[in-house]
Amino acid sequence: MKNRNTLQRRLVLETVRRMHNHPTADEIFREIATENTLISKATVYRNLKILSEQGEILHIPIPNGADCFDFQTAPHYHMECRGCERVFDVDMPYQKDLEKKVLNRNGLLIESHHIVFQGLCPHCQEQKALEHQKKTG
């Protein structure tokens, strides 16, 4: 008898489905808390874990930062902006065949992969351009 349908679990799921900007656990917590309902951050973490294990939401592990979550569960790639550190969806088909390109000379069994791109979002590109103008006069 697993997986009870509690108010808190429903709220976490609904909130992730509603926020389309790769929210972190903390952002989800704040979104729920500011609305009306009292919820514990531990509960948010626990439910995010359960929901992503069940495939209801997608867990995106972020190196050097808070992991974030996505309502879109089909595997896809992300870019982390080195300016604002926000996470964006990348417009590239999922490379199913990438894992086959690994030579198994060393006996490793590959099961899945993640690609994280680094770069600049449009807004931060502008910022950098302005900074550069200022410097060069």
Partner DNA sequence: ATACATGCAAACACTTTGCAGCACA
Partner DNA sequence: TGTGCTGCAAAGTGTTTGCATGTAT
CB-CB contact of 80 with 124 (8 Å): no
Scanning residues 38 to 97, which ones bind a copy of itself (CB under 8 A)?
61-64, 67, 79, 82, 88-92, 95
The continuous run of DSSP H or E covering 77 comes out as none
* Contact between 31 and DNA per CB under 7 A: no
119 binds, among a copy of itself, DNA, none (CB under 5 to 8 A by kind): a copy of itself
45 binds DNA (CB under 7 A): yes
Judge whether 33 and 39 are in contact, CB under 8 Å: yes
CA gap 135, 124 in Å, rounded: 17
| CB-nearer residue toward DNA: 5 or 106 | 5
Sign of CA dihedral 81, 83, 85, 87: negative
- Give, in order, the Cα–Cα distances in Å from 107 to each of 1, 8, 100, 110, 113: 40, 44, 13, 9, 17
User: Within a 10 A sphere around the Cβ of 79, how many other Cβ atoms?
Assistant: 19
Contact residue for DNA among 25, 51, 58, 81 (CB under 7 A): 25
Q: Least distance to a copy of itself from the beta carbon of 65, Å?
A: 9
74 binds, among a copy of itself, DNA, none (CB under 5 to 8 A by kind): none
CB of 33 or CB of 124, closer to DNA = 33
- Decide if residue 101 touches a copy of itself (CB under 8 A): yes
For residue 56, give both structure tokens: 């209801």
Q: Which residues bind DNA (CB under 7 A)?
A: 1-9, 24-26, 38-43, 45-47, 49-50, 65-67
